Amino acid sequence: SLLSKVSLMMGINTRTLSGQLGCYFVKNVLDQEGFGRQKRGYRSIDEIYIKMTDPLFSKQWYLINTGQADGTPGLDLNVAEAWGLGYTGRGITIAIMDDGIDYLHPDLASNYNAEASFDFSSNDPYPYPRYTNDWFNSHGTRCAGEVSAAANNNICGVGVAYNSKVAGIRMLDQPFMTDIIEASSISHMPQVIDIYSASWGPTDDGKTVDGPRELTLQAMADGVNKGRGRKGSIYVWASGDGGSYDDCNCDGYASSMWTISINSAINDGRTALYDESCSSTLASTFSNGRKRNPEAGVATTDLYGNCTLRHSGTSAAAPEAAGVFALALEANPNLTWRDMQHLSVLTSKRNQLHDEVHQWRRNGVGLEFNHLFGYGVLDAGGMVKMAKEWKTVPERFHCVAGSLQDVHKIQSGGKLILTISTDSCQGKDNFVRYLEHVQAVVTVNGSRRGDLNINMTSPMGTKSILLSCRPRDDDAKVGFDKWPFMTTHTWGEDPRGTWVLEVGFQGDEPQRGALKEWTLMLHGTQSAPYIDQIVRNYQSKLAMSKKEELEEELDEAVERSLKSLLSKN
C-alpha cells in the first residue's frame, strides 16, 4: 500500500505512522534527487596544492599542515590562501631584533635589506652573528628564515612572507643590555622598517618582574605615533618561555599595549610546555615543545648556509606572526598599528587549539578568547581578505576611570575585593565607549610575591586573570610598584559600570600583604570601530561585532531621544 511505501522510505513503523497521520491521507509520494552543497569558507586539506622546490617545505607544517610529524591536518597559518590571492610580503620590510642574522645565507641574501640593518652590539652596519663553537648566536638567523626565506630556490624552506625584505638589528650579543641599545634598536629607521620582531625579553625564570626603561618606552611611543608615516610601527613580541612557573604580565614588553604579544601551540593544537599565559596575549602561532618527533620543530635557515628542523619556543612564534602581518600590509599598506591589532582579534581562529588549564570563554560582546592563546591562531588568508577592504578604526582615547590610593590589607584564606564605578569619562573629550586595552596600575607587596593572585572583572562580566601564582618568586620586599597589568580580554566591551578587583594569596603557607594603589585606565574609541566595515562572511566575528554595535547604537539613540522628549515635557 501507499502507507507501507511511505513507512519504508521514512523508516517508521506502519502502525505508528497511521496513528500519527490520524485522519490525514498521503496523496502523493515523490522520489527526491540528491545534490551537493558546500560549506562556504571551509578549506579541505586535500584541495591545497602549492608547488615549492625547497627541500624543507614539506616539513614546514606550520605553513601547511597535512598531518606531518603526527600533527593535526589543517592546523596551520593558512598561508596557502594568502599566497593564492597573490600576497607574499612584497614591498614590506621586517626587522629581526636579535643576535644578528647570517645575511650571506643563500636563502636570505636575495631578501636582505642592508640599508635598514645595523649592529648596535658592535656599532657598525654589519649585523653578522658572532662566532661561537656551539652556534649560540643562531637565534636571529632562524627567526629571519621563518619570515623571509626565498621560495623555489632549492634551499632550506620558505618564509611566511617569502618576497618580503628582512633587516638585521644585532642588539642581543653584548655582556649586558642598556636602555639606549634597546631604544636605538626599536627606533631604527622607522620610515623604512614596517614590522619589528622581538623574540627576547626579561629572564623567564618565574621570579623576574621587568620591562622597558624610560628611553625604550619613549622609543615605542614614538614608533606607534610617528613610524611608517604616522601609521605606526608594528612591534611583534614573543610572550615568553617561562611555562606554568611564570606569567607574561610580569614582562613589560609582552604586556605593553604597543606590542602584539604572540604565544604558541604545537602541531596538534596543544600548548607547548614552555608557554606562559597572561591576559595581555593577543593571538598565537606555532612552535614545538612536547613531541620527540625530530620533524615536529620549526624548519628554517641556520648559520653558515645551513638549515634546521629544531627551531622552537615562542621565539619561533613571533616571526611567524610578523610574516602574516607582512602579508596583510601588502594587501593594505594603509593599515595602522591599531588596525593590525583589530584584524588579529577579528580573524584569529580557535581552530583546534586546546589547553588543559584554561578553557575558551566569550567576553561581553561575544568574542571568544583563551587566557593562553589570546583570540586564537592567526589566519593569514582571513587576515589579508579583511585587510584589503579595511577602513581605519576611529581615533583612540584614554580615560582614567578611577583610582583607589588607600592601604588595604591582604590575608591568606580570604580575598580583598575592591570596586571602581565609572562612566568612562562620558561627557568629556576623552570618553571611551568601545574598549581596546585596559590597564590596572597596581602597587602591592606581600610576604611572598609569588603567591599573589589578581583577577579583574569588567562591568559586562568578563573576568581577566591579571596575575597568576609564580611558585619560584620568593620576593618579600619589592612587590609590584605602579605595575601596569594589561588585559585584551574585554576588547569591544562597554566599560561603563562597576569594575571589580580581587586580590588574594594562593599557597600552602600563610601570607600577608597590602595593596596601596589600584588605578583603572581605559583605552579605546568613542565611535563603533566596525560599524562601517564591509562584511563578506556573515558567520564571522566581524559580522557578529558589527551587528552588536548596530543594536547598541540604535538602543542608545532611542534612549537619547526619549530623554530629550522627557526633558522637553
- Out of 54, 76, 98, 251, which one is annotated catalytic? 98
What are the Cα distances from residue 473, in Å, to 245, 246, 247, 337? 9, 9, 11, 34
What are the Cα distances from residue 78, in Å, to 354, 382, 432? 18, 8, 35
Closest CA to 82 of 147, 185, 160, 177: 160
The question of whether 98 is a catalytic residue gets the answer yes
Cell digits of residue 172: 642581543
Cell digits of residue 398: 584614554
Residues 250, 261: contact at Cβ < 8 Å? no
How buried is residue 513: exposed, middle or buried, by Cβ count under 10 Å (0-12/13-18/19+)? buried
Residues 270, 296: contact at Cβ < 8 Å? no
Q: Any idea what the Cα angle at residue 348 is, between residues 372 and 390, rounded to 5°?
A: 140
- Residues 346 and 544: their CA atoms lie apart, in Å, by 10
What are the Cα distances from residue 498, in Å, to 250, 271, 424, 546? 25, 34, 10, 25
What are the Cα distances from residue 283, in Å, to 78, 215, 372, 529? 15, 27, 9, 20
- Out of 138, 199, 255, 315, which one is annotated catalytic? 315
Q: What is the DSSP letter of 449?
A: G
What are the Cα distances from residue 486, in Å, to 34, 43, 407? 54, 35, 22
The question of whether 139 is a catalytic residue gets the answer yes
- Residues 502 and 405: their CA atoms lie apart, in Å, by 16
Burial 270-297 (b: 16+ CB within 10 A, else e): bbbebbbbbbbbbbbbbbbbebeeebbb
Cα radius of gyration (the chain)? 26
The question of whether 437 is a catalytic residue gets the answer no
Q: Which helix (H) or strand (E) holds 179?
A: helix 179-186
* DSSP bridge partners of 286: 265
DSSP line for 345-394: HHH-B-TT-B-SSS--EE-TTS-EEBTTTBT-B--HHHHHHHHHT--PPP
- Out of 76, 138, 139, 355, which one is annotated catalytic? 139
Catalytic residues, by residue number, are 98, 139, 315
